[in-house]
Amino acid sequence: MNDQPIRKRRRLGYLGMLGLCGGLGMVVGLASALIDSFGGAVADELQIGLMVLCSVALIWICVAWWRGADEAVREAHKWAWYWGGSAGIGVVMGLLILTTWNVIDLVPSEMPGDPADLIVTGIGLTLGAQFTGYLVAWAFWWLRHR
Amino acid sequence: MNNRLKVLRAERNWSQAELADRLGVSRQTVNALETGRYDPSLPLAFKIARVFEQPIESIFLED
């Protein structure tokens, strides 16, 4: 019988990863507000630098989490991202096509008039649908493999 | 694919969490393996065989 002592590896769990990312977001938000108030002439440059640092840190956290995740956990996320993300964006595309053909009317009465705001709305809608699909597919994968 | 993981684990009085620690995977993964609804990769199958000190073909059985 294999009774060798168990080597426990400390892993960054899913909630730990989300917590770290959320905490980092709060710190960066606070720093960004301080730069806005006291950054003076170089505020824009400082903001860009802060965003680059934040992006690098977020990627590092996600890579650390991914390396610690086992194969079933990874498989669930890959499956969920592909199928859930695709389904989510498919739904948005379908609604967009139906709206364009005037089959349905989903355009809110108060649409942002500024093109930049429209682009941000579109990105938000797409990412939101993809993320929702991802969460549903992720839960479905684990329910199916219980 | 069927497997004898649950039986082998029970013979050793290991909990799912203990087996998960020995394999370096999560308890949820052990549960998915035991129910036969998730087939492990070859490296993990070899690891399982090493932990139970049995050949792979005596642990994993074709349907």
Closest alpha carbon to A73 in B17, B25, B24, B42: B25
Q: Are residues A77 and A144 in the same domain?
A: yes
Average pLDDT, chain A: 86
* Per-residue confidence (pLDDT) for residue A8, from 0 to 100: 58
Q: Are residues A75 and A52 in the same domain?
A: no
Q: pLDDT digits over A44-77, tens only?
A: 899 999 999 999 999 999 998 898 888 999 999 9
- The minimal CB distance from B32 to the residues A8, A9, A146 is found for A146
Alpha-carbon distance of B52 to B9, in angstroms, equals 8
Q: How confident is the model at residue A132 (pLDDT cuts 50, 70, 90)?
A: very high
Closest alpha carbon to B32 in A71, A126, A94: A71
* Per-residue confidence (pLDDT) for residue B11, from 0 to 100: 94
Which domains does chain B carry?
A: 2-53 (1.10.260.40)
Question: Checking phi first, is residue B13 left (phi over 0); if not, alpha (psi -120 to 50) or beta?
Answer: left
Q: Are residues A83 and A42 in the same domain?
A: no
Lowest-pLDDT range of A3-17, A97-111, B45-59: A3-17
Residues contacting A104, CB < 8 A, separation 6+? A95, A98
For residue A41, being part of any structural domain is answered with yes
Q: Are residues A85 and A14 in the same domain?
A: no
Domain range for A35? 10-69
**Whole-prediction pTM:** 0.75
Pick from B18, B19, B22 the residue to mutate for testing the A interface (most A CBs within 10 Å).
B22
Alpha-carbon distance of A56 to A58, in angstroms, equals 5
* Per-residue confidence (pLDDT) for residue A117, from 0 to 100: 82
Backbone angles phi, psi at A65, to 5 degrees: -65, -45
For residue A3, being part of any structural domain is answered with no
Q: Are residues A133 and A90 in the same domain?
A: yes
Q: Are residues A31 and A56 in the same domain?
A: yes
Whether B14 has its CB under 8 Å from any CB of chain A: the answer is: no
Whether B45 has its CB under 8 Å from any CB of chain A: the answer is: no
Alpha-carbon distance of A87 to A132, in angstroms, equals 10
Q: Are residues A56 and A82 in the same domain?
A: no
Last residue of a domain, one of A49, A69, A89: A69
Q: What percent of chain B has pLDDT over 90?
A: 83
Using the CB atoms, write b or e for A6-37: b if 16+ within 10 Å: eeeeebbeeeebeebbeeeeeebeeebeebee
Q: Are residues A65 and A79 in the same domain?
A: no
Helix locations, A39-84, DSSP H: 43-68, 71-79
Structure tokens belonging to residue A45: 């440059």
Q: pLDDT digits over A69-128, tens only?
A: 889 999 999 999 999 999 999 999 998 899 888 888 777 777 767 788 888 888 888 899
- Cβ atoms of A135 and A85 within 8 Å: the answer is no
Q: Are residues A52 and A109 in the same domain?
A: no
As for how many domains chain A has, the answer is 2
Interchain proximity A71–B44, CB inside 8 Å = yes
